[in-house]
Amino acid sequence: MRSGRSTALGGLLGLLAGVVTAYGATGPLADLVLLNGRVVTMVAEGDVHEAIAIAGDRIVCVGTQDEILDRVGTRTKQIDLAGRAVYPGFVDPHTHLLNDSWGQGLSPIEAQALALRNGITSAANMYTPPPETEVYLRMAERGEIRVRFSLYLIYNSSCGDVLGDWYAQYEPLVELAPRLRVGGVKVFSETSVCGGEPIGVSFSDALADELTAEGRAGYGSNAPLFTRAELADIIREAGALGFPVAVHAIGDAGIETSLGAIEDVLRGESNRLRHTILHNLFLRDDLLPRYAELGVVAAIESMSSCFANYYRGLIAPQYGHIVRRWADLVATGAHVTANSDWPWCAQEAISPLFRLQALMVADNRSDSYAAWEPCGLLPEDQFVDAWTGLRMMTAEAAFMLHREDEIGTLEAGKLADLVVLSEDPLLVDSDVLTEIDVLMTVVGGVIEWRDERL
């Protein structure tokens, strides 16, 4: 009889244990702990801890070895980092990873695997036409979206064809299916890749006399696709429905039109929707401070600007300093985020560590550039330091995507999106950043990629 009663009691307790979260001395027990490492939270410089605990899809604690061991129960999976670094999962806020995967001979599933191997846990697919939106939604419903994607739905095509407000059928900034949401609307203020046509860089009259023959012949004749007032109407309409807008603008005329349109929409209010300008390649002195003044986010790419020499060839050498002013932009206090844009530019262009190096050194060691023209050398006064570059790929990118409460830093309560790196990019020489390996990628507490060495 006694054994029967205790069995029944044990069964009842077992049932309770299945429902109630198990607790350690200081909080809930973890499903996964990473111990004995360097956990770099990216909240503030020097905020580094020994270990991190994850329960379900969330970070429950970042702390000392002892604090994290306190969260270990019989079912907790433990990984010894042996001194390796843990960072927030990288966020790529402007990429064509999904929509251009087919053109690269990869399925969207294979393209995501490539991103995960490179430590990318969230991304914005910055060119999403109507049929593809439905394809990605169906994929997400089948659990095939493994990177957290924000889709930017196109208002017009890269050739300038207007699709209009079809995006309005979707609700922005909410999870529509697992790991998938609509992040905003993409608008081209200049034509971009369009068949065999050259990219339509638009220059203002202010630069007309500074262009080279090549600049005048091929590109100087390009004008922005919209007037300031027309673009303001497009942004206002999207914003009224709650959609952030990301505007493609490379030339100073495109950028000036885009800044002006956003200014007209905001009318002195804050840029609550975080309207963003993509590329920002030709920045005149008078345009530079306006990002911070208006609260416009600048999304830049450090590696697909292996086009940079080519762009710089459009403008007289004495004006070359207005091309790729990354450090100048950061110095204004603007939100600046770094993306891959075209991750196929070089095989490594998808890699946050290669892209970080390209923000920090005057040349880079990517073998894949052989197929392209030599990558434009970033002038030394436009280098950014590793901390700034890493913030651009984590916390700042999360901010652009309206997800800074969930991702971008390692803090208790946030989603457990993180990477394990073979070395800490803040501690190594910039020359060897590209030798750092991504050993593990975790999205929402799920190990999505793991190198056998870990």
Residues that bind Zn ion (CB under 5 A): 126, 341
Instruction: Please identify, using beta-carbon distances, which residue of 158 and 257 lies nearer to Zn ion.
Output: 158
| Beta-carbon contacts of residue 273 (< 8 Å; ≥ 6 apart) | 184, 239, 242, 243, 244, 245
Structure token pair of residue 381? 């006064």
Asked if residues 404 and 395 have their Cβ atoms less than 8 Å apart, the reply is: yes
Question: Residue-wise over 250-287: b if at least 16 C-beta within 10 A, else e?
Answer: bbbbbbbbbbbbbbebbeeeebebbbbbbbbbbbbeeb
Instruction: Please identify, using beta-carbon distances, which residue of 340 and 394 lies nearer to Zn ion.
Output: 340
Q: Other CB atoms closer than 10 Å to residue 72's CB: what's the count?
A: 16
Q: Report helix, strand and coil shares of the chain as percent, to nearest 5.
A: 35, 25, 40
Which helix (H) or strand (E) covers residue 56, if one does? none
Instruction: Please identify, using beta-carbon distances, which residue of 81 and 238 lies nearer to Zn ion.
Output: 238
* Shortest distance in whole angstroms from residue 94 CB to Zn ion: 6
DSSP-derived pairing of the beta strands 38-40 and 85-88? parallel
| Beta-carbon contacts of residue 408 (< 8 Å; ≥ 6 apart) | 42, 88, 91, 394, 395, 396, 397, 398, 399
Alpha helices in 120-251 (DSSP H): 130-141, 205-208, 213-214, 228-240
Nearest to 160 by CA among 187, 197, 184: 187
Provide Rg for the chain, Cα atoms: 24
Asked if residues 22 and 28 have their Cβ atoms less than 8 Å apart, the reply is: yes
Instruction: Please identify, using beta-carbon distances, which residue of 89 and 93 lies nearer to Zn ion.
Output: 93
Separation CA 336–CA 351 (nearest Å): 18
Structure token pair of residue 208? 């007309």
Asked if residues 63 and 398 have their Cβ atoms less than 8 Å apart, the reply is: no
* Shortest distance in whole angstroms from residue 194 CB to Zn ion: 13
Nearest to 339 by CA among 325, 319, 320, 359: 359
Asked if residues 121 and 136 have their Cβ atoms less than 8 Å apart, the reply is: no
